[in-house]
Amino acid sequence: MAVDGAMRERMGKTACDLALKAGYANAGTVEFILDQEGNFYFIEMNTRLQVEHPVTEMVTGLDLVELQLRIAEGEALAFGQRDITFRGWSIEARICAEDPRRDFYPSTGIITRYTSPRGRNIRIDTGIEAGSVVSIYYDSLLAKVAAWGETREDARKALVYGLNGYHIEGLATNADFVNAILNHPAFVNGELSTDFIEAHFENGRVKLEPPPERIHLMSIAATLVYHNRQNQIRESLRPMAAHVGGVFAPKEYTPYVVKGENDILELRLQGDHDANVWTVWVNDTAYNVVTPDFEFYRRRLKLRINGEPHMFRLQYHGNFISAAFCGTARIFEIYSPREWALARYMPTLEKPLRANLLECPMPGLIVDIRVQKGDRVYKGQELVIIEAMKMESAVASPRDGEIEDVMVKNGQAVEIGNLLVVFKV
Look at residue 252 in the predicted model and tell me its pLDDT: 81
Mean pLDDT of all residues in 160-176: 95
Look at residue 297 in the predicted model and tell me its pLDDT: 66
The DSSP annotation for 15-67 comes to: HHHHHHHHT--S--EEEEEE-TTS-EEEEEEESS--TTHHHHHHHH---HHHH
Flag whether pLDDT at 295 surpasses 90: no
Mean pLDDT of all residues in 155-173: 95
Q: Which helix (DSSP H) or strand (DSSP E) does residue 6 occupy?
A: helix 5-22
> All domains of the chain, ordered by start, with CATH?
1-84 (3.30.470.20), 88-208 (3.30.470.20), 212-235+252-343 (3.30.700.30), 357-423 (2.40.50.100)
Is 48 designated active site? Answer: yes
pLDDT band at 50 (very low <50, low <70, confident <90, very high): confident
CA distance 18 to 208: 42
Are 266 and 283 within 8 A, CB to CB? yes
Flag whether pLDDT at 236 surpasses 70: no
Flag whether pLDDT at 15 surpasses 90: yes
CA distance 385 to 392: 6
Look at residue 354 in the predicted model and tell me its pLDDT: 72
Considering the candidates 8, 48, 87, 113, report the single residue annotated as catalytic: 48
- Tally Cβ neighbours within 10 Å of residue 405: 12
3-state secondary structure of 341: helix
Are 26 and 72 within 8 A, CB to CB? yes
Look at residue 355 in the predicted model and tell me its pLDDT: 77
- The pTM of this model reads 0.87
Rg (CA), the chain: 26
Question: Which amino acid would we find at residue 39?
Answer: N
DSSP state of 75: P
